[in-house]
Amino acid sequence: MLSLKGKIVLITGLGQTTDEGWGIGAAIAVQFARQGAFIFGGNRSLSSANRTKNRIEEEGGVCDVVETDVTSSKSVKSLVEQCVQKYGRIDILVNNVGRSEPGCPASMSEEIWNAQVDINLNSLYLTCHHVLPVMEKQDTGGVVVNIASIAGLRYIGKPQVAYSATKAAIMQFTKATAIIYADKRIRLNTVVPGLIYTPYTRALAQRYSPGGDEEAYMKKRDGQVPMGRMGDAWDVAKAALFLASDEASYITGQKIVVDGGITASTGRV
């Protein structure tokens, strides 16, 4: 069950920014490698990417990493070409890179707005633009898993309008593209994480915590979840694994929400 034996996986943002904990992209890469996949990852900094590569290789897995900026067409094209040059195919694409910037339309600068659209949404267009034609030529087609956020489904307590809008757009991009490719043996689905504990969350805590109290920020996030705790990167990785696997072969254009119940709830009263 859930074997990815011999599958070639191209993943963006697999870097692990610190030695502590797990980022979502890093956990997906490690989880997929454990299921037998060969990982080919693009990440902004090689030092982060190498942390994940080392973790995979220590377990006997295979991982190549390439310095990549997912907002640059040239850089994404080169990433895809290097993967195809090495393996001759791409079976699974995981679009994981994303980040949030605070602000509402009035307070957010045009630069930040455009940068948010670039990193969260244009990046998906760029990888799909270069990878879907490769998958289409393959007898076995391919699978795309995109990482959105519940901020694309709900207001989750802080103004981050560009993040919300771009994460919502990812879900619709996925649905529309899934239908276009449904008869071409290519499936596209979205994983929608809720509040997840990652090194990036720790960085957000430093940025947003009232009076510098990071633990209070973390406790507040735990308290927002009906299950009483944030999820972790593995919760997201397991959902991504299911969607990428042959066990999900009749599922396309869908999303799996991994949020401990937040979006099913009307909120704490």
Ligand X SMILES: NC(=O)c1ccc[n+]([C@@H]2O[C@H](COP(=O)([O-])OP(=O)(O)OC[C@H]3O[C@@H](n4cnc5c(N)ncnc54)[C@H](OP(=O)(O)O)[C@@H]3O)[C@@H](O)[C@H]2O)c1
Question: Which of 160, 201, 245, 252 lies at the binding interface for ligand X (CB under 6 A)?
Answer: 201
Applying the rule CB under 6 A, the residues between 58 and 97 that interact with ligand X are 68-71, 96-97
| Minimum distance from residue 137 beta carbon to ligand X (Å) | 26
Task: Tell me the closest approach of the beta carbon of residue 5 to ligand X, in angstroms.
Answer: 26
- Cα–Cα distance list, 202 to 21, 92, 122, 196, 219 (Å): 10, 29, 26, 10, 12
By CB under 6 A, what part of segment 21-60 binds ligand X? Answer: 23-25, 42-45, 48
Alpha-carbon separation of residue 178 from 115, 142, 143, 237 (angstroms):
26, 11, 10, 21
CB of 182 to ligand X, least distance (A): 25
Residue nearest to ligand X (CB): 98
Q: Which of residues 124-153 bind ligand X (CB under 6 A)?
A: 147, 149
State the virtual CA torsion across 155, 159, 162, 166 in degrees, nearest 10: -20
Verify whether residue 181 is a known catalytic residue: no
CB atoms within 10 A of CB 269: 4
Nearer to ligand X, 181 or 200 (CB): 200
Structure tokens at 211: 């009076």
Q: For residues 236 and 65, what is the distance between their CA atoms, to the nearest angstrom?
A: 21
Q: Which is nearer to ligand X, 36 or 168 (CB)?
A: 168
Q: Which residue in 87, 125, 155, 163 is the catalytic one?
A: 163
Please tell me whether residue 160 binds ligand X under the rule CB under 6 A.
no
For the bound state, the minimum distance from the C-beta of residue 140 to ligand X, rounded and expressed in Å, comes to 27
What ranges in the chain are assigned the alpha helix state H?
24-34, 46-58, 73-87, 110-117, 123-137, 161-180, 199-208, 214-223, 233-244
Name the site residues for ligand X (rule: CB under 6 A): 12-13, 15, 17, 23-25, 42-45, 48, 68-71, 96-98, 119, 147, 149, 193, 195-196, 198-201
List residues with catalytic annotation: 163
